């Protein structure tokens, strides 16, 4: 387990060494180190070991497959994983999160640039809003939603293979941006820090017991704020 903690510390150092803000938490500039997040949860030894292993795997996957990711708040994610049931279930859920990064990141045809839409609940809020009677009560990091994302990955790959208008084949090394606003790093940081300040982020991933809200039009509100900030696509 010492080796796993060393892995977690190493990935923390990579993340927190970035010069720009690494959290969306209003009033802070730096994300809480993952080791401190786990210690705060006051878990028994078996669950603490499972969460350490699982979170190390997630963050290693994120830093590898989303090297340009900006914000790294894992308080709510870690808390959710610790409540997944047994230590084995914690590791299974964490493994699915890590695998999703491999599926959506730079190594595939999908090639998204950030984990922000997953971590801060934009994907989740949109999914719940499509069928609230069935999905209200499903959290943003629970296995039911992760299963949806796994299916969505397959759907996106099929759309890309057919050179879909919204999800075409990418030419060159760039990242995919199907949104109506700019998502270069400077624009991404400006927009999402402004969203957090205005309480327009669906999931407060930076807080233990953080708010997770789906019943507002977050996608539209994000596009409107991007337009107000002059961050439309060139």
12-62 per-position pLDDT tens digit = 888 887 778 799 999 999 999 999 999 999 899 999 999 999 999 999 999
pLDDT digits (tens, 9 = 90+) for 186-197: 999 999 999 999
Q: 12 near 35, Cβ under 8 Å?
A: yes
Question: What's the pLDDT score for residue 234?
Answer: 61
Q: Domain limits of the chain?
A: 2-6+27-178
d(CA 43, CA 45): 6
Which tokens go with 160? 């890309």
pLDDT digits (tens, 9 = 90+) for 210-226: 999 999 999 999 999 99
Question: What's the pLDDT score for residue 21?
Answer: 79
Question: What's the pLDDT score for residue 20?
Answer: 81
Which tokens go with 231? 């961050």
Is the Cα torsion angle 68, 73, 77, 78 positive or negative in sign? positive
User: What's the burial of 34, exposed, middle or buried (CB within 10 Å: 0-12/13-18/19+)?
Assistant: buried
Whole-structure pTM value: 0.95
């Amino acid at each position: 387990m010492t080796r796993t903690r060393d892995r977690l510390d190493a990935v923390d150092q990579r993340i927190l060494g970035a010069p720009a803000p690494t959290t969306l938490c209003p009033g802070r500039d730096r994300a809480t180190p993952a080791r401190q997040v786990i210690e705060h949860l006051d878990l028994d030894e078996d669950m603490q070991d499972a969460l350490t292993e699982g979170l190390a795997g997630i963050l290693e996957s994120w830093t590898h497959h989303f090297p340009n990711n900006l914000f790294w708040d894992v308080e709510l994610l870690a808390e959710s994983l610790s409540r997944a049931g047994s230590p084995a279930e914690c590791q299974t859920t964490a493994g699915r999160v890590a695998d999703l990064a491999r599926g959506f990141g730079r190594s595939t045809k999908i090639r998204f640039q950030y984990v922000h839409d997953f971590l801060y609940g934009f994907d989740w809020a949109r999914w719940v809003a499509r069928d609230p009677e069935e999905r209200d009560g499903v959290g943003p990091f629970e296995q039911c939603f992760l299963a949806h994302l796994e299916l969505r990955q397959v759907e996106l790959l099929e759309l890309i293979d057919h050179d879909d208008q919204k999800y075409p084949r990418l030419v060159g090394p760039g990242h995919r941006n199907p949104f109506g606003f700019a998502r270069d790093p400077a624009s991404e940081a400006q927009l999402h820090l402004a969203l957090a300040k205005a309480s327009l982020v669906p999931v407060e991933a930076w807080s233990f017991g953080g708010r997770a809200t789906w019943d507002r039009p977050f996608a539209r509100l994000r596009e409107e704020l991007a337009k107000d900030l002059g961050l439309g696509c060139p």
